[in-house]
Amino acid sequence: MTSSKTAPKSDGGLAFAPELDQPVPYMRRTREWYLALGYDNPYVWAHYIDVPFTPLTKPLAQSKVTFITTAAPYQPDKGPQGPGAPYNSAAKFYQVYSGDTAAEHDLRISHVGIDRIHTSLEDARAWFPLAALRDAVAAGRIGGLTKRFHGAPTNRSQQHTLNFDCPEILNRCQEDGADVVILIPNCPICHQTLCLIARHLEANGIPTVVMGCAKDIVEYCGVPRFLFSDFPLGNAAGRPHDPTSQAETLELGLRVLESAIGPRTTVQSPLRWSDDPDWKGDYCNIARRSPEEVAALRAEAENARIVAKELREKELKKAAAGGTA
């Protein structure tokens, strides 16, 4: 593997950035990845031209804020979910859940396709910004948190997200009197899911900001406000073990909420993951995998698909019968 630091220069001494040093093309990468694994029905991503937009109705210092995550509550009986855990479809959830913002939570992201090469899943504050939000309340930056935050299932079915999860999350936000909603996705599908939810909330009068790492997916879908952090997937709330980065990322998101004058407002965080952009070439890049790895990944993907399908059918059947997941 050739590092961008050692790659030959071809800019005539003009000091251009390496070609790789641009936002990762997640839609193209995942399409090529799954085609190479034998899935010949490329995913159709959500795409809109018109984007709803709701201006802030009061200063953030007077606003009740909530947030939406795609992280999953830890389930001890569902296999590895901690630092270094492989993709674990058994840990998925398929119904909206809510958590007490005054309590502590163990939420993990082993159930989604984050960047496992360049992040370790060690610091939940990199994807779950409750601590940073509490600090913002203490500092008077925001008026307060609602009594609950909400978890959104990362469903590949846009229809299910739009017909069931979006209305449910809107209802819970309205019940809690949320003035503003921050959405923090993790994997590629997570980004699409939270974009659809942000659009629904805005169409119903609640201002939002998506804080994410998959620029192409968010902008292709179309959201009112987007803070783009050019970090590996799974770090949308800031660098792990770096409270300063996490606080700065939240502050940037709040500024986007305050400053956006219309829909499709994107602001890129000035924070960098690394001086060497070579990490951007690894995620779902079939060209960097050997034939043996591709064969193993094909079997792994099919097994994960079967497990997730069975779990989804079981949970949705239980929900339809009036049970809980």
87-103 per-position pLDDT tens digit: 898 899 999 999 999 99
Distance CA 264, CA 51 (A): 7
Asked if residue 5 has pLDDT above 60, the reply is: no
Cβ–Cβ < 8 Å for 203, 184? no
27's CB contacts (< 8 A; 6+ apart) are 45, 188, 216, 217, 220
Number of helices (H), then strands (E), belonging to the chain: the values are 8, 10
* CA 186 remoteness from chain centre: 3
Asked if residue 200 has pLDDT above 50, the reply is: yes
Question: If you write DSSP's letter for every residue of 139-156 in order, what string do you get?
Answer: TTSSSEE-SEEEE----S
Predicted pLDDT at 8? 47
pTM: 0.90
- In the chain the first and final C-alpha atoms are separated, in Å, by 44
Nearest to 231 by CA among 277, 196, 273: 273
Asked if residue 282 has pLDDT above 70, the reply is: yes
Every domain of the chain and the residues it spans: 19-325
Handedness of CA 61, 63, 64, 66 (dihedral sign): negative
The confidence band for 10, taking pLDDT boundaries of 50, 70 and 90, is low
Percent helix, strand, coil in the chain, to 5, is 40, 10, 50
- pLDDT tens digit string along 218-238? 999 999 999 999 999 999 999
Cβ–Cβ < 8 Å for 42, 34? yes
- pLDDT tens digit string along 109-144? 998 889 999 988 999 999 999 999 999 999 999 999
138's CB contacts (< 8 A; 6+ apart) are none
Cβ–Cβ < 8 Å for 165, 155? yes
What is the overall mean pLDDT for the chain?
Answer: 92
DSSP summary character for residue 237 = T
